[in-house]
């Protein structure tokens, strides 16, 4: 058990006020040990939820404070580290569904003609699924035109006065 895991285990027994104080110190530290501690806290869902609550409390506490910008930045970074996906929980990338269909339909390398037909059948199924999917387009945004604050003709020469 490394130091970060020990800290996370100790945090489990703390009251809300004590946990908030420990979270405040960890947010302020922003070093490699703090990142390791956030990773250890992230592993325990209950402790992670309590830490997110403490971070939300700190965020509210520092609103209107002289150093609000700095603290909000640090708290946001801590929240990102807490919300980052865990490396142990990441699943491997799923294999292509076309490959799994092909293998379930035909033995690999049994007959080239059968392989070609199986590929064509799988491609036809995937093409029809793609064609039936709705097509989304971005809405066209028209910029509003600026209206003139004064009329185009401000002064007009009287009809009866013509200069010769």
Q: At what angle do helices 45-61 and 68-83 cross, to 10 degrees?
A: 170
Torsion angle of the four alpha carbons 136, 137, 138, 144, in this order, in degrees rounded to the nearest 10:
-130
| C-alpha–C-alpha distance, residues 150 and 83, integer Å | 55
Task: Report, as an integer, the average pLDDT of 36-53.
Answer: 91
Of the candidates 122, 45, 53, the one whose C-alpha atom is nearest the C-alpha of residue 86 is 45
Q: What pLDDT, in 10s, does the model give residues 48-95?
A: 999 999 999 999 999 998 999 999 999 999 999 988 876 654 445 555
Model-level pTM?
A: 0.51
């Amino acid at each position: 058990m490394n130091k970060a895991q020990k800290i996370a285990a100790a945090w489990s027994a703390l009251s809300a006020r004590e946990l908030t104080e420990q979270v405040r110190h960890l947010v302020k530290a922003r070093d490699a040990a703090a990142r390791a501690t956030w990773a250890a806290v992230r592993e325990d869902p209950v402790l992670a939820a309590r830490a997110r609550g403490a971070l939300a409390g700190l965020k509210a506490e520092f609103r209107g404070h002289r150093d609000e910008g700095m603290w909000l930045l640090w708290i946001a970074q801590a929240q990102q580290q807490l919300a980052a996906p865990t490396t142990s929980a990441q699943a491997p990338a799923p294999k292509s569904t076309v490959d799994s269909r092909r293998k379930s339909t035909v033995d690999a390398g049994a007959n080239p003609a059968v392989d070609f037909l199986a590929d064509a059948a799988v491609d036809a199924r995937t093409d029809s699924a793609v064609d039936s999917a709705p097509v989304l387009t971005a809405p066209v945004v028209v910029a509003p035109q600026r209206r003139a604050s004064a009329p185009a003709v401000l002064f007009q020469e009287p009809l009866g006065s013509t200069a010769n």
